[in-house]
Amino acid sequence: MSEGYIYCLTNEAMPGLVKIGEMHTEGRTPEDRIRELYTTGVPLPFFVKFAKKVQNPAEAEGRIHAFLSDKRLNPRREFFKTSPEVVSKLFDLIDGEMWVPTDDDETNETMPNTTAIIKMNQVFTEGLLIRHIVASDLNKTWIGKYNATTDRIVYDGVSYASTSDFAVKHHRVYNPDRKSAGGWAECDCQINGEWVNAGSLRV
């Protein structure tokens, strides 16, 4: 039986839609998949909301697609008019291991789909609100505030050195064994009253 990932992706250019797909492992990760999808025909990069390593990913994907068939925009495409919260509940019904981004550096981070090292003080401004949600569950939300003087995200009196530090510490509230998190992909920022993915910001 083959092993691989099922994944849920979002894109700032496609509000209200999610892309639900599968991929065989073969040394590849969901991060590799979003890099493949970021072509000249796509105005903004995709972001991995969550992914899960499963046995027989094509079968798992098919079950989710079938359940959401009335939300599918085009039978030849993997886009659905639904929310990550709904998809997350379906993923919970499938045996497997949730994917953890391989971003172990908690102070120097890379933006999604780039190799450039980005620091918070290059893109964040004083008082910017930073949000992180665990497993797309709005009941598991942290909203911190960026302190430009210390170059830290502050939440509930605790300072965090990076978006990944902020995200992984939040994950550890529910999963103490969590080792890392992709902060730029997982965190959102409030810009002009709207929440936008931190990874969509550019220097």
pLDDT of residue 114: 47
pLDDT at residue 14 is higher than 60: yes
Domain extent listing, the chain: 3-98, 109-200
pLDDT at residue 30 is higher than 80: yes
pLDDT of residue 107: 42
pLDDT of residue 58: 94
DSSP 2-49: -EEEEEEEEETTSTT-EEEEEEE-TT--HHHHHHHH--TT-SS-EEEE
Long-range contacts of 153-156 (CB under 8 A, 24+ apart): 153/120
Tell me how far apart the alpha carbons of residues 124 and 109 are, in angstroms, rounded to a whole number.
14
pLDDT tens figures, 148-158: 998 999 999 88
Tell me how far apart the alpha carbons of residues 133 and 27 are, in angstroms, rounded to a whole number.
28
Q: The sheet that has 141-147: what strands, in order across it?
A: 158-160, 152-155, 141-147, 129-133, 187-191, 194-197
pLDDT band at 67 (very low <50, low <70, confident <90, very high): very high
pLDDT at residue 199 is higher than 90: no
pLDDT band at 42 (very low <50, low <70, confident <90, very high): confident
**Backbone angles phi and psi of 138, in degrees to 5:** -65, -20
pLDDT of residue 74: 94
pLDDT tens figures, 99-153: 866 544 344 444 454 434 567 888 999 999 999 999 888 999 999 999 999 899 9
Task: Read off the pTM.
Answer: 0.55
Task: List the one residue out of 86, 190, 85 whose CA is nearest residue 133.
Answer: 85
Q: Which helix (H) or strand (E) holds 79?
A: strand 79-80
Decide if 52 contacts 6 (C-beta within 8 A). yes
**H and E: helices and strands count for the chain:** 5, 13
